[in-house]
Structures are given as structure tokens and as C-alpha cells.
Amino acid sequence: MKKIFLSILGITMVCLAMAQSSKQVQWAYTAKKISDKTYEVHMTASISGDFHLYAQDAGGDGPIPTSFTFVKNPLLLLDGKVKEIGKPVKKFESAWSHDVKYYEKNVDFVQVVKLKGNAKTNLAGKVEFMVCDDQKCLPPSDVEIKINIGG
């Protein structure tokens, strides 16, 4: 019985720790039509307090870079890679022993998508990210993405 209780407690603690990064970043998703059947999908991160969110190319080994994974959708075509719009900071961090790139306060990640027809659909997937401040890093988090496209 004691082993079961300790196992459940351990799993609960890991889950709570994993959720900490997602509490420091609020994500907002919008789709903007830029031409016939072509949309810009904006995935905007608002970062709390003194935390920072690592860029997609954070630089070197160490911090988990922000990454996007999209579910394959036969009605959509991803056009290029996710772009970052914001003010990147490049700074030496002693925890990683090299320069890293990150964003403070907010950053907008933009993915261009093209509809293959006139149907209404969605872009789904997840974003994985990690946040740190000057004293600590929180465990990486995964947040689900779902954005309506077309219609």
C-alpha cells in the first residue's frame, strides 16, 4: 500500500512540475486571411513576470527550444516554417555556458497555411516550450493548438 501511495505521489509531483511552464506563458491563436485560400496563423505567447521563452533556435545544447508540431491535415498545406516576430535577446547564460536566444514579455510565431479547397477546417498540433528566469528554469511544457481555418 505504501509503494502505491508513493508512486501516485511521485506521478502527481511530476505532473505538477510539468505544468509549471504553461502557467508562465499564455498562448493565443488567430488566423488571418492574406489571400485567396492562404492564411497566416499567429500563435502568440505572453510571458509572465521575469521569465523568458526560448527561441526555436535557442543556440547550443541546454535549453529546450520552442517547437511546433502540427497534425497532418489533408485539407491544409504548411507553407514554409514557423517564423518568429518579436525582439529576441541573445545573452550568455552561465547555466548553459554559452549564448542563448530568447524572448521576454511576448513573441508572435507565424505559420502560413494554404487551403487545398473551399472547406472550413482547423490546424491542430502542439507547442513545446521551456521558460527560465535569472534563478531557475521550469520543466518543459506541451500545450495543444487548435485554430479554425477558412469557412
pLDDT values of the chain reduced to their tens digit, one per residue, 151 residues? 444 433 443 443 343 344 467 789 999 999 999 999 999 999 999 999 999 999 999 998 889 999 999 999 999 999 999 999 999 999 998 888 899 999 999 999 999 999 998 889 999 999 999 999 989 999 999 999 999 998 7
Q: What pLDDT score was predicted for residue 11?
A: 40
60: left (phi over 0), alpha (psi -120 to 50) or beta: left
Tell me if the pTM is above 0.95. no
- Is the separation of the CB atoms in 106 and 24 below 8 Å? no
- Is the separation of the CB atoms in 86 and 42 below 8 Å? no
Sequence-ordered strand ranges (E) for 37-104: 38-47, 52-54, 67-70, 76-85, 89-93, 98-104
Q: What pLDDT score was predicted for residue 62?
A: 85
